[in-house]
Copies of this chain bind each other. A is one copy, B any other.
């Protein structure tokens, strides 16, 4: 038998989520999390650079899913479609069985600003990588940035809906709906010529 039980990071992660959910994030100390699984604070911080990071581990898989989606898109697909493919691929990581877990996790995050900040930063990081992937495909710089931003916005909004009480649709379906709605919203109407009374450059 090994000297230490294996899977320390996973055990810490689970214990942390439970403690955060019951006592709250700020009311839970890193030492408590560690001790609850038979480890010390020092070891906790060896596995997670941050106290918050314990809730954001495994995001590499999410990033990879986005990137895989990009890679799988036909090479002649317009940027938005590529972004849509990325979102669709990412949505795969969240089957309905995972909804309860995602719900409690998000509930914890929604109650604490530091956690919200970390989450936003993670999403922004993904958006940046997505934009890079698009540029690598030859997409124009600005277009890549915009498409990536739209992608993660759609994903974020769809995820929020997916988490809601009573929501039955799959994340995949919701994502498609949100994107569809976005495309409808941005539809230019035949309106009266583009407005020109802007300060000249």
Contacts and interface: CB of A to CB of B under 8 A. Distances in A.
A16 to B, nearest CB: 19
Interface residues of A, number: 38
B153 A173 contact: no
Contacts of A173: 198-199, 201
A121 interface: yes
A146 to B, nearest CB: 5
A198 B182 CA distance: 19
A69 interface: no
A102 interface: no
Contacts of A124: 116, 120
A59 B1 CA distance: 57
Interface stretch (A2-10, A23-31, A185-193): A185-193
